[in-house]
Amino acid sequence: MHNLILVRHGQSFWNKEKRFTGWADIGLTEGGKEEAELAGQLIKKLNIEFHAYFTSKLKRAINSLEIILKILNKQKVEVFKAFELNERHYGSLTSLNKDSTVKKYGKKQVQIWRRSFDIPPPPMDDQHPYKKKINSNIRTESLKDTFERVMPYYKKKIEPLILSKKNILIVFHGNSCRSLLKKIFNISDEKIIQLEIPTGNPLLIRFEENLKVQDYKYLDIKRSKKIIFNV
């Protein structure tokens, strides 16, 4: 039996303020830290020996993993940090309040930017207040774009470990997690946009020999979300 545990980071300040975060490097609220602590406690109860730990380059995910590792008494382990596991880049929407954006552009348009599979928000221009802080040639991303950077990294760095019966812990973001679940559960482009990822709630996926999913569950049942399949 080989295990993969996926955790969306705990609540960030911009999650709480309902702002588009994307690649902006925003820290955890006290509530977010508590969510990470609970995630660590739930994972600890499984008594799984992990062989590798992965996270993004953004501190809300890194700090969530650090909190979990402290509870697991694994502070000195090697952690692999990759921008490929970053949240989706929200382009010019970065830092904007979601409710205010709906008032400005309309609910339908914002829903297209947020939930369509292959339509990105308007790109971040050089005058955007977060352009220099993010400093990337990437200016915006659709969920499809996010999927297309997450999957090569997963195929190269993580999937071979699972095939060799290693136990893996990944702490990352709503859309990078959504991208990975799309592949693991073979969710269609149309269905994936309906999938919600709760913060700080570990998702345990157990695989058979051929990477077929044997079973899966959220460890915090009260805060679980349904995995949406094509059928």
Q: How far is CA 131 from CA 12, 56, 110, 152, in A?
A: 20, 19, 21, 26
Q: How many CB atoms lie within 10 A of CB 7?
A: 29
Positions marked catalytic: 9, 87
38 vs 112: CA distance, rounded Å: 33
- Torsion 107-147-48-30 (CA) sign: negative
- Tell me which residue has tokens 């913060």: 199
Q: Are 44 and 65 in contact (CB under 8 A)?
A: no
Q: Supply 124's token pair.
A: 């971040």
Q: Supply 220's token pair.
A: 């915090």
Q: How far is CA 108 from CA 5, 95, 114, 117, 188, in A?
A: 34, 20, 10, 15, 22
92 vs 141: CA distance, rounded Å: 10
